[in-house]
A and B are shown apart, each in its own frame.
Chain A
Amino acid sequence: MTLDEWMNPVVAEFPRPLQQHLRSEYRAHYQDHLSAGGAEDAQALFGDPEETKRQLKKVYLTQEVLEGRPNVVYVVVFSLLCTYFNTLHLYSRLPQHAHFWALLDLVLVPIGAAWLWKRTWKWEPSRQKLFRTLGLMTLGMTLWIFQPVQIFHPLPFSGLLFLLQLQPWWAIAGVIGGIYSMFAMDARVRRTLDPVGWHKA
């Protein structure tokens, strides 16, 4: 197998600047190998191209993921708005002690969304879309922390319903996980778009 035959399927799914970066590293390695008297078979040197591609996908995002489905962010916005207005609608029916938490929730979401938009305003479109989508999903999680079902039913449940009791903890874990994945995904986007200078951005 020639070097190009090995490399083409390995790098094909990644954006062009990353493809060039990967090709130059593998080509340099291959040249050193030939200079040292190694055999020309690229597969014998580098191993299974599918395995290498799988490992690279742990570090970088594919072009398909970067482009994403254009309607995902609208679905997330729609579900967030539904949950938000549901909380707003139920606000007057909440017991007095729950008003503070529900109000906190209702204020936190628009402030969080405004921060997300402002922070990502001048970003590269694919980076902007992924960060906003994950950010909105995380904000959606905050709405579940103080959902009315938890406030209306503070008494112990029986059977599998005990999971509902844990709802705030699931939601808090979800928010922490969401914030982590926002920034982890953003780092992968930056690495993918600029494999050499990403850490300076």
Chain B
Amino acid sequence: MKASEQLRLLILAVLERQPEHGYAIAQTINARSNGLLTAKEGTLYPALHLLEAEGHIQSQETEVSGRTRREYRLTSRGQQEVSRLRGDWTRQVGAVRAILEVQG
């Protein structure tokens, strides 16, 4: 899976739980992976906008702590996409693990 697809999967997986704004998405990815994975924060927004253009997520402006933020939420199409990407990822990890276990 390419880095750009990984970022898509990470974003969609975060939004699967609840709608979030950009900064919160980056922080969640960082926190859940104990800092091992980081969303490249500059390229987070192009990825979000592309996912929105493809209909996988949708956004609207909301007030968060008195500040205006654009909140992103998963669509039903996005739900299908996250399932597909998760399946791809699981297969790849399983294949790599099988090889490593044989060699180990």
- Which among A22, A29, A52 is the interface contact of B43 at CB below 8 angstroms? A52
Interface SS of chain B: helix
B32 to chain A minimum Cβ distance, whole angstroms, is 16
Tell me whether A67 is interfacial, beta carbon within 8 Å: no
Tell me whether B2 is interfacial, beta carbon within 8 Å: no
Residues of A25-69 at the interface with B, using a CB-CB cut-off of 8 Å, are 25-26, 28-29, 31-33, 36, 45-49, 51-52, 55-56, 58-60
Q: C-beta contact mask, B32-55 vs A, less than 8 Å → 1, else 0?
A: 000000001111011101100100
Would you call A28 and B69 a contact (CB within 8 A)? Answer: yes
Would you call B46 and A58 a contact (CB within 8 A)? Answer: yes
Tell me whether A187 is interfacial, beta carbon within 8 Å: yes
CA distance A55 to B43 in the complex (A): 7
Would you call B53 and A187 a contact (CB within 8 A)? Answer: yes
Would you call B45 and A26 a contact (CB within 8 A)? Answer: yes
Interface size on A, residues (CB 8 A): 28
- Which among A6, A25, A49 is the interface contact of B45 at CB below 8 angstroms? A25
**Chain B residue, CB-CB nearest to A184:** B53
User: Given the complex, which residues of A lie within 8 Å of B67, measured CB to CB?
Assistant: 28, 31-32
CA distance A56 to B40 in the complex (A): 13
User: Given the complex, which residues of A lie within 8 Å of B45, measured CB to CB?
Assistant: 22, 25-26, 29, 52, 56
User: Given the complex, which residues of B lie within 8 Å of A60, measured CB to CB?
Assistant: 49
Would you call B42 and A51 a contact (CB within 8 A)? Answer: yes
Tell me whether B21 is interfacial, beta carbon within 8 Å: yes
User: Given the complex, which residues of A lie within 8 Å of B24, measured CB to CB?
Assistant: 32
Residues of A3-41 at the interface with B, using a CB-CB cut-off of 8 Å, are 6, 10, 22, 24-26, 28-29, 31-33, 36
- Which among A28, A49, A195 is the interface contact of B42 at CB below 8 angstroms? A49
User: Given the complex, which residues of A lie within 8 Å of B26, measured CB to CB?
Assistant: 29
A69 to chain B minimum Cβ distance, whole angstroms, is 26
CA distance A22 to B44 in the complex (A): 12
Would you call B50 and A45 a contact (CB within 8 A)? Answer: no
- Which among B21, B41, B69, B70 is the interface contact of A46 at CB below 8 angstroms? B41
User: Given the complex, which residues of A lie within 8 Å of B49, measured CB to CB?
Assistant: 56, 59-60, 191, 195
**Chain B residue, CB-CB nearest to A30:** B23
Tell me whether B19 is interfacial, beta carbon within 8 Å: no
Tell me whether B76 is interfacial, beta carbon within 8 Å: no
User: Given the complex, which residues of A lie within 8 Å of B103, measured CB to CB?
Assistant: none
Would you call B53 and A48 a contact (CB within 8 A)? Answer: no
B: residues with CB less than 8 A from A are 21-24, 26-27, 40-43, 45-47, 49-50, 53, 67-70
**11 A-B contacts (beta carbon < 8 Å):** A6-B42, A22-B45, A28-B21, A28-B22, A29-B41, A45-B42, A47-B43, A52-B43, A58-B46, A59-B46, A191-B53
